[in-house]
Amino acid sequence: MKIGELSARTGVVARLLRYYEEQELLFPERTANGYRAYAESDVERVRNIRELLDSGIPTWIIRRILPCVMNCGSPSDASVVPSIDAETARVLNQERERLTCKVECLTRNRDAIALYLSKAQW
């Protein structure tokens, strides 16, 4: 599919799709006339990229973890999970902790809103 169709199906503007390619998050084929050609699987890949970016994860981390995210739920494949160095493991552990704190904060806020709504007079 062309970039316009991928954009329409994912809600991500073409400029961002090109940026994801620059960041080595997307790898479209090129047609004979130089146009980008995206696979059907790129729809889900772009959605995963958006979710990771929306949670505050930087592109350099997404580049490393995206293969594992894309294969979540499928049979374990040792080739999908690369070995990582100690620095990358440290950064990923910090990122996991940051996300855990964010989830806890969001959960508290959701619960506070639910309590407020349950007591509010309509």
Domain at 71, CATH number:
1.10.1660.10
User: How far apart, in Å, do the first and last CA atoms of the chain sit?
Assistant: 49
Residue 74 clears pLDDT 70, i.e. is over it: no
Say what percent of the chain tops pLDDT 90: 70
Half-sphere exposure of 113 (CA within 13 A, CB side): 6
- The encoded tokens of residue 6 equal 């991928």
Q: pTM of the entire structure?
A: 0.76
Tell me, yes or no, whether 45 and 88 share the same domain.
Answer: no
pLDDT score of 73 more than 80: no
Whether 65 and 102 share a structural domain: no
Pair (33, 92) in one structural domain: no
| pLDDT above 60 (res 76) | no
Residues 95, 43 share a domain: no
> Quick one: 26 and 76 in the same domain?
yes
A 10 A CB-CB count for 46 gives 22
- Whether residues 97 and 55 fall in one domain: no
Same domain assignment for residues 91 and 67: no
Average pLDDT over residues 96-110: 95
> Whole domain around residue 119: which residue ranges?
84-122
29 and 63 together in one domain = yes
Find all residues with CB under 8 Å of 83, minimum gap 6, and list them.
none
Q: What would the pLDDT profile of 30-60 be if each residue is shown by its tens digit?
A: 999 999 999 999 999 999 999 999 988 999 9
